[in-house]
Amino acid sequence: MNARSDSASTSRTRGRPPVPKERIVATALKIVDEDGADALSLRVLAQRLDSSTATLYRHFSNRAELINQVIDHTFGSVPVQADELRGLGWEEACRAMATWMFENLRSHPNVAPLLLAQVPTGPNALALREVALQVLLDAGFSPSVAIRCYATLARFVLGFAIQLNGEDPEDAALAEVYGKSGENSLAATAAVAAFVPVPLDEEFRFGLDLLLTGLAQQRSRHEP
């Protein structure tokens, strides 16, 4: 009665893990989205999957590897349209990619703290970089400048993303700090207090514009 002929597709790979990696990663991201990066413990994850922590270690050799894949999952929510991007010209293409990356991270604000463990090196992150480098090389930037451009843009986005989470409480704390500036002989800070907080996406656009302006100038300088 139990004589099952292990035929066809599963013959060599019988005994596969019943919880696919994809589901583990998706569930992990869900926990992070819902309850924050700190809430992602292997215990909680295992419980949510009706599994055990030890079982998770069959799929990931440690917590860092799991997190790596969670990050890349975030980057994969919308595929990069390489051809469309190239049609835009390098400047707009860079702006689009940086903004896309920012929006991706913004839609998963709790993922940001995870980024400090490592530079993203998952397949989706690599694909994005590949497109960015293509665009820059096609535009005539030298390889050594192109890689610096990409690194600068990536770090800029990261610097923003990293503190996306605390937005609300931070604003309150910052407002308090600015409010007190009058008492503390911080004249310049006080002069500026009326203009904070700056909405985050406006701040992002401002900085991105600076970078792209600088890039354009650098390009025209080197190859006129």
Partner DNA sequence: ACCTGAACACCGTTCAAGT
Contacting residues toward a copy of itself, per CB under 8 A: 112-113, 115-116, 118-119, 121, 126, 129-131, 133-134, 137, 143-144, 146-148, 151-152, 155-160, 162-163, 166, 170, 173-174, 177, 181, 184, 186-189, 191-192, 194-196, 198, 202-203, 206-207, 209-215, 217-218
The answer to whether residue 127 forms part of the interface with DNA (CB under 7 A) is no
Alpha helices, H only, the chain: 21-35, 42-48, 53-56, 63-75, 82-87, 90-106, 123-138, 143-161, 167-180, 187-192, 200-222
Report CA dihedral (204, 205, 207, 209) to the nearest 10 degrees: 160
Which CB, 15 or 224, lies closer to DNA? 15
* Residue choice 23, 43, 180, 222 for contact with DNA (CB under 7 A): 43
The answer to whether residue 64 forms part of the interface with DNA (CB under 7 A) is yes
The answer to whether residue 213 forms part of the interface with DNA (CB under 7 A) is no
* Residue choice 25, 28, 29, 42 for contact with DNA (CB under 7 A): 42
The answer to whether residue 118 forms part of the interface with DNA (CB under 7 A) is no
The answer to whether residue 30 forms part of the interface with DNA (CB under 7 A) is no
- 175's contact among DNA, a copy of itself, none, with CB below 5 to 8 A by partner kind, is none
Helices 143-161 and 123-138: crossing angle, nearest 10°? 130
Token reading at 53:
């922590």
Token reading at 192:
């500026």
The answer to whether residue 52 forms part of the interface with DNA (CB under 7 A) is yes
Q: Is 102 helix (H, G, I), strand (E, B) or coil?
A: helix
Using the structure block, give the residue that is written with the tokens 């696919």.
20
Interaction pattern, residues 9-28, with DNA; x per rule: CB under 7 A: ------xxxxx---------
Residue 28 contacts residue 70 (beta carbons within 8 Å): yes
- 207's contact among a copy of itself, DNA, none, with CB below 5 to 8 A by partner kind, is a copy of itself
Report CA dihedral (59, 62, 68, 70) to the nearest 10 degrees: 60
The gap from C-alpha 218 to its chain's centroid, in whole angstroms, comes to 27
The answer to whether residue 62 forms part of the interface with DNA (CB under 7 A) is yes
Neighbours of 7 (CB within 10 A): 7
* Residue choice 10, 23, 26, 41 for contact with DNA (CB under 7 A): 41
The answer to whether residue 128 forms part of the interface with DNA (CB under 7 A) is no
